[in-house]
Structure 1
Amino acid sequence: MHDLPETPAPAPGHFNLLGRVLHWAMAIGIMAMLFIGVGMMSSLSLRPWLIDLHQPLGIAILVLALLRLANRLLRAVPPLPASVPRWQAAAAHASHWLLYLMMIALPLLGWAVRSAGNWPVILMDGWMLPAIVPENPVLYAWLRLAHGIGAWLLFALLLGHIGAALVHAWIFRDGVFSSMARGSRTRVSRLPDN
């Protein structure tokens, strides 16, 4: 008796529920984080309060990004429509992986900045994270610069990501946006009225 080759599972039409929840939770968190970061640089009076908010939110984003990456690697994702040109598909895949990189690297850079400046990352009263780099003023300056440049790069990536999502939602209407916006729905056919 011959074993029949396994038929590959069909590609999903939507991202799984965990992927969608993590995507939208992180979207809110990252946008808040970018505005908090701008506020930290522009308001001396609000800076201490914003830093206290920035640190735990950054660590939360790091944890969520790692969960999201694991979910992305373990679960199938919907393919792009055949109407998307290859160069756009390649750009979309590259930008998604760059977004993952930035969502993980920026919180780690922020943690390293605090460590190099000899400040703990305080998540809440009495609960702080250990240093991940040694105290060093020169390293602090370089890491702070890298964190700032990384934040601007993330902002640019997000603008491109949001712009592409809106083009797919409003112009192409090809299902790319809806694959992340909602899950699969089963249609219930109506019975004719008697």
Structure 2
Amino acid sequence: MNSAHPIPPARFDLLARILHWTMAALIVAMLFLGAALVGSLGNYHRALVLHESVGVAVLVLALIRIVNRLRRTAPPQIPAISRPERIVATGSEVLMYALFTAQPIVGWALVSASGAPIRVFGGVLLPAIAPANAHLYHLLRDVHTFLAFGLLAVFTAHMCAVLAHSLVLRDQVLNRMLRTPRFRRTSTEPAPGHPLQAPVPTPPDS
């Protein structure tokens, strides 16, 4: 009697998976560097340059990710996900995309308003996108902080939801973003050539 493993869920395309995991690592790095800047931990100037560089990388990858998402339809959700959950997931995804783009742009404008040069990736000078102005600088700093907490909250909620589905519900949601092996059909009968396979009798010579 033959039996089969559950059919794995459809996965995102390779570019989407690479962008997803790369951006996840960069977002974590950006949040830690931002916290280091607030607490003035270590070398402030070096942490600032790293924070700005990571922010630019996040902005570029976010734009690529949005274009890729518009060009390629996301795979269907697994049947276990209810309609309300799908609505919440879609809303949180849109919110994350908005934060991924808005936060680096606000940070770019923030540094521009301070009047300081913006050098990223070891020396690449970026143009200012806002005039040097003390009042605008303080306003953008508050907006940047607000968006940072919003990004942290949404990112944490996303991680908790993924962990709940993976460790508690075990419904293969995470496999949509992973390179999962193909399931093979298994059988209780020995394969041909197996030691337990009975030899096929040879008809006697006539």
Decide: shared fold, TM above 0.5.
Answer: yes
Secondary structure in structure 2 of the residue aligned to 1:128? strand
Match of 1:137 in 2: 134
**In structure 2, C-alpha distance between the alignment counterparts of 1:45 and 1:13, rounded to whole Å:** 45
Q: State the TM-score, normalized to the length of structure 2.
A: 0.82
Match of 1:58 in 2: 55
Alpha-carbon distance, 1:189 to partner: 5.9
Match of 2:3 in 1: none
**In structure 1, C-alpha distance between the alignment counterparts of 2:20 and 2:35, rounded to whole Å:** 23
Matched, 1:118 2:86: no
Q: After alignment, is 83-92 or 24-33 more displaced?
A: 83-92
* Mapping for residues 70-149 of structure 1, pairs under 5 Å: 70-149=67-146
After the TM superposition, list the runs of 4 or more consecutive aligned residues in structure 1 that deviate by more than 4 angstroms.
187-191
| Structure 1 unaligned spans of 5+ | 1-11
Alpha-carbon distance, 1:43 to partner: 2.0
Matched, 1:186 2:182: yes
**In structure 2, C-alpha distance between the alignment counterparts of 1:174 and 1:124, rounded to whole Å:** 41
**Quick check: which has more Rg, 1 or 2?**
2
Alpha-carbon distance, 1:85 to partner: 2.1
In 2 relative to 1, CA 124–78 (structure 1 residues): closer, same or farther, beyond 3 Å?
A: closer
**In structure 2, C-alpha distance between the alignment counterparts of 1:51 and 1:130, rounded to whole Å:** 17
The Cα offsets for residues 125-182 of structure 1, whole Å up to 9 and x where unpaired, read as 4421101111111111111110011011000001110011111111222221110122
For 1:80, give the aligned amino acid.
Q
Match of 2:203 in 1: none
| Structure 2 unaligned spans of 5+ | 1-8, 196-206
- 2:10 corresponds to which of 13, 17, 23: 13
In 2 relative to 1, CA 125–77 (structure 1 residues): closer, same or farther, beyond 3 Å?
A: closer
RCO higher in structure (CA 8 A, sep ≥6): 2
Among the aligned pairs, what percent are the same residue?
Answer: 39
For 1:151, give the aligned amino acid.
A
For 2:19, give the aligned amino acid.
L
Contact persistence 1:115–1:134 (CA under 8 A): yes
For 2:144, give the aligned amino acid.
H
Q: State the TM-score, normalized to the length of structure 1.
A: 0.87
Secondary structure in structure 1 of the residue aligned to 2:119? strand
For 1:74, give the aligned amino acid.
R
Structure with higher helix content: 1
